[in-house]
Amino acid sequence: MIKMRDITKCYQLGGEKVHALDRVSFDIDDGEYVAIIGPSGSGKSTLMNIIGCLDVQDSGTYHLDGVDTSKYSGRQLARLRSTHIGFIFQGFNLLGKLNALENVELPLIYQGVGRRQRRRRAEEALSSVGLSDRMKHRPSQLSGGQQQRVAIARALVANPHLILADEPTGNLDTATGNEIMGLFEQLHEQGNTIVLITHDRGVAARAQRALRIVDGRIQPEENQEG
């Protein structure tokens, strides 16, 4: 599914060059649930942006489902994103003027899915995260955990090959965060491939496997319990 080889990404800031990612290589297989963990500034979001085809590496190769992403144009990458990847962010990123159902329908609008089917699939996705009774609520009328469930439903509605989450529990209290982690476990059991970015060891420990990143480099794998 994901094959990264010697991915490097630098930022030039004034006269200084920051190596955000330094020869990063790893594979993630279909159906895996992997956490990427590392301290602040270690390169997690930079890596997530490349995995999600939101940004391009300076050097190295990234294959997603067998496609060499460096050979794709911006337009082709946008299409790959909308058909292959479901994004979940720490800040939920829902549109405040739209209700839950309309937010979840959005990715299907971009894909040109007809109105009726859109509605049906959005309702299904919201039911699958336990929100059948909140479909007409706007984000401001929902709790943080409920907003994150809407964001998860939106990420799932287009049946992506890959679910990519950046600090999905970062804005939630511990109990609500646990609930959301339970939902990820359920999605994994259903066969979804999940990559979850976190600085929280407890969160990372619930994934099948963790990749640790420090100063833009992947660290050798630690022995993990469970």
Ligand X SMILES: Nc1ncnc2c1ncn2[C@@H]1O[C@H](COP(=O)(O)OP(=O)(O)OP(=O)(O)O)[C@@H](O)[C@H]1O
Whole-angstrom Cα distance, residue 83 to residue 68? 16
Angle (CA) 194 28 163, round 5°: 20
The least distance separating ligand X from the CB of residue 18, rounded to whole angstroms, comes to 5
107, amino acid identity: P
Is residue 45 within the footprint of Mg ion (CB under 5 A)? yes
Residues within window 77-106 making contact with ligand X, judged by CB under 6 A: none
Nearer to ligand X, 49 or 83 (CB): 49
The set of residues, in sequence order, having a beta carbon less than 8 Å from that of 216 and lying 6+ positions away, is 9, 19, 20, 21, 22, 24, 42, 43, 46
The item of ligand X, Mg ion, none sharing an interface with residue 175, based on CB under 5 to 8 Å by kind, is none
Is residue 11 within the footprint of ligand X (CB under 6 A)? yes
Q: Of 38, 107, 139, 168, which one interacts with ligand X (CB under 6 A)?
A: 38
Binding residues for ligand X, total number by CB under 6 A: 13
Report the largest interatomic distance among the alpha carbons of the chain, rounded to a whole angstrom.
Answer: 55
In angstroms and rounded to an integer, the radius of gyration of the C-alpha atoms of the chain is: 18
Whole-angstrom Cα distance, residue 1 to residue 66? 7
The item of Mg ion, ligand X, none sharing an interface with residue 38, based on CB under 5 to 8 Å by kind, is ligand X
Stretch in the footprint of ligand X (CB under 6 A) among 33-41, 107-115, 147-155, 178-186: 33-41
Q: Where are the alpha helices (H) located in 52-173, listed in sequence order?
A: 74-84, 100-110, 115-128, 144-156
Residues within window 184-213 making contact with ligand X, judged by CB under 6 A: 199
Instruction: Give the footprint of ligand X on this chain (CB under 6 A).
Output: 11, 13, 18, 20, 38, 40-46, 199
Instruction: Give the footprint of Mg ion on this chain (CB under 5 A).
Output: 45
